[in-house]
Amino acid sequence: MHILIVLWAMLAAWRWADWSRFREFHATMLYMPAMDLLYFYFTHDYLLWTVQSHFGIPHTGVALLYTFIVFPCTVILFLSNYPNKLGRQIIHVGKWVILYIGTEWIGHLAGAIHYNNGWALGWSFLFVIVMFPMLFLHYKRPFLAYLASVIIIIFLINWFDVPWASLHEETLLWKS
């Protein structure tokens, strides 16, 4: 399933993304993977979800395919086709939310996605509802998006009781 999603994302981005605006979207194409890598940094010993491969690829390998291929493709597709009018923007975001949640729901039913430590499909739905507007916010006002991201990260770490011990000393950059 994951390989099909990666292939679909690449083909869809190749076909429907506006590559002439790549420089315009590039920072946001890096923002989404950066936030995903931050999730792995904070939760490496306390994952809220894991993706499972049926081909023997470790879950970290599958997760990295999403981080470095699917997510940048998502961003360029999402922003390339972002409409100007508010009503159409809401519909555009709604389509992406349905696409992401529908795909995740199928993945969960197929055993390709597992939830841990209190996370569930409902949390993914809420997360994705926030994620897509955050991508547009980052595109328009990056500093504000980073500030909002810090607040969201702090909330999620506290809500899901991510143990600060999981951020053990050997992973901290400022360790002496």
- Single out the residue of 74, 79, 78 nearest to residue 104, CA to CA: 74
- Which run of H or E residues covers position 50? strand 49-51
Three-state SS string over 108-126 comes to: HHCCCEEECCCCCHHHHHH
Q: In angstroms, rounded to a whole number, what is the distance separating the alpha carbons of residues 35 and 87?
A: 28
Domain for residue 161, yes or no?
Answer: yes
How many CB atoms within 10 Å of residue 2?
Answer: 22
N-to-C CA span, the chain: 43
The pLDDT assigned to 21 comes to: 96
- Whether 22 is covered by a domain: the verdict is no
pTM: 0.88
pLDDT at 174: 54
| Residue range of the domain that includes 38 | 2-17+27-171
CA pair distance 144, 125, nearest whole angstrom: 23
Binned average pLDDT, 10 residues per bin, the chain of 176 residues = 87 94 97 93 90 81 92 97 96 97 95 94 97 98 96 92 67 52
Distance between alpha carbon 150 and the CA centroid of its chain, in Å? 15
- Please check whether residue 42 is in contact with residue 153, taking contact to mean a CB–CB distance below 8 angstroms: yes
Confirm if 81 and 38 have CB atoms less than 8 A apart: no
pLDDT of residue 44: 86
Q: Is residue 176 part of a domain?
A: no
Is 144 domain-assigned? yes
Task: Reduce the DSSP state of residue 23 to 3 states and report it.
Answer: helix
Radius of gyration of the chain (CA): 17
Residue 75: name the closest of 150, 9, 5, 152 by CA.
9
- Structural domain total, the chain: 1
